[in-house]
């Protein structure tokens, strides 16, 4: 198993190189000169423009620029700055905790609510509970996240004043409950549907019939044979969700003014700040890669047929 983990970790190196290169090239396809953007609608002299372009290696061949970027990242150069002159690593480490907390909270809500509701619906297939969940999850899936976000923000933030309507720089876990719920909503619906279908399928599977035939008690059958097997696809879904939750937080972070990774990425793309954009997206890619590794390892726990050697 450790050999497997080591192999997977080694694989992240080409993934990192490939991902950063692709994102780097993509940001370079964006027309316009970020230095002109810095100047706003005021004139900027050619000397200053060229000096700034040189400082950020913008006049070099694009692959050379990428190598400069890699050098800064690999050596953890503390002087590696974005176009605003602020150190990139510091910016990311400032923004990461709040986004990570937000994503983990959303993930926890997604997992707990989704699996519990999905299991109950699956066990009582086609009952009233199942029907209500079906309708509810379809509604949740079809309403765009910004509608839910603004409505809940207005109701619980402005009108009732239960939660703070925005998070801001001074965040606490309590402030994040509302945004995390908004972020989790679409995923909860999917997790519920997935769990429900999986449980329902497993209820009629051969091994469950065998277990019942052996005379195992119903609760043991459900716990050990139905639920455990049903969770394999659900765990995959939830696991890789963490990556998309962090990336998908851009809208939620905008509505609730969370100074996190999504917001950082949004601003960086807007300003044509390549070093910051690529660094932020690279962090997202890495989180995604590590989450899928953890998910693969969890398979072995859930499904005895899977062994990593």
Contact positions toward other proteins, by CB under 8 A? 30-34, 36-45, 47-48, 51-52, 55, 83-86, 90-91, 94-95, 147, 150-151, 153-155, 157-161, 164-166, 168-170, 253-259, 263, 266-267, 270-272
Closest distance of CB 180 from other proteins, Å: 16
**Residue 267 vs 292, nearer CB to other proteins:** 267
Instruction: Label residues 213-236 b or e (16+ Cβ within 10 Å = b).
Output: eeebeeeebbeebbbebbbbebbb
Closest distance of CB 167 from other proteins, Å: 9
Closest distance of CB 70 from other proteins, Å: 24
**Residue 113 vs 265, nearer CB to other proteins:** 265
Closest distance of CB 242 from other proteins, Å: 22
Closest distance of CB 128 from other proteins, Å: 25
**Residue 127 vs 144, nearer CB to other proteins:** 144
Instruction: Label residues 81-120 b or e (16+ Cβ within 10 Å = b).
Output: bbbeeeebeebbebbbebbbbbbebbbebbbebbbebbbb
Rounded Cα–Cα distance for residues 88 and 78 (Å) = 8
**Residue 171 vs 288, nearer CB to other proteins:** 171
**Residue 16 vs 266, nearer CB to other proteins:** 266
Closest distance of CB 181 from other proteins, Å: 15
Closest distance of CB 22 from other proteins, Å: 20
**Residue 125 vs 271, nearer CB to other proteins:** 271
**Residue 14 vs 85, nearer CB to other proteins:** 85
**Residue 39 vs 240, nearer CB to other proteins:** 39
Closest distance of CB 283 from other proteins, Å: 15
């Amino acid at each position: 198993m450790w050999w497997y983990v080591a192999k997977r970790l080694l694989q992240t190196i080409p993934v990192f190189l490939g991902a950063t290169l692709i994102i780097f090239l993509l940001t370079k396809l964006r027309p316009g000169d970020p230095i002109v953007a810095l100047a706003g609608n005021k004139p900027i002299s050619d000397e200053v423009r060229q000096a700034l372009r040189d400082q950020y290696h913008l006049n070099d061949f694009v692959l050379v620029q990428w190598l400069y970027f890699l050098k800064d990242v690999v050596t953890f150069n503390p002087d590696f700055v974005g176009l605003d002159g602020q150190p990139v690593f510091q910016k990311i480490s400032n923004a990461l905790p709040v986004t990570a907390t937000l994503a983990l909270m959303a993930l926890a809500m997604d997992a707990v609510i989704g699996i519990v509701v999905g299991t109950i619906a699956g066990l009582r297939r086609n009952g009233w509970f199942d029907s209500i969940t079906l309708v509810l999850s379809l509604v949740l899936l079809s309403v765009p996240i910004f509608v839910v976000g603004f409505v809940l923000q207005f109701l619980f933030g402005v009108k009732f004043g239960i939660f703070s309507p925005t998070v801001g720089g001074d965040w606490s876990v309590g402030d994040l409950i509302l945004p995390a719920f908004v972020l989790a909503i679409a995923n909860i619906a999917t997790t519920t549907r997935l769990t429900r279908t999986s449980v329902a399928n497993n209820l009629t599977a051969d091994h469950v019939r065998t277990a019942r035939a052996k005379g195992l008690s119903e609760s043991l059958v459900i716990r050990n044979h139905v639920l455990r097997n049903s969770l394999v696809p659900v765990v995959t879904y939830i696991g890789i969700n963490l990556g998309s939750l962090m990336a998908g937080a851009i809208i939620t972070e905008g509505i609730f003014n969370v100074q996190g990774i999504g917001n950082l990425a949004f601003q960086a793309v807007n300003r044509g700040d390549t070093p910051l954009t690529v660094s932020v997206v690279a962090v997202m890619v890495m989180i995604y890669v590590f989450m899928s590794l953890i998910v693969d390892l969890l398979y072995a726990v859930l499904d005895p047929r899977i062994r990593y050697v």
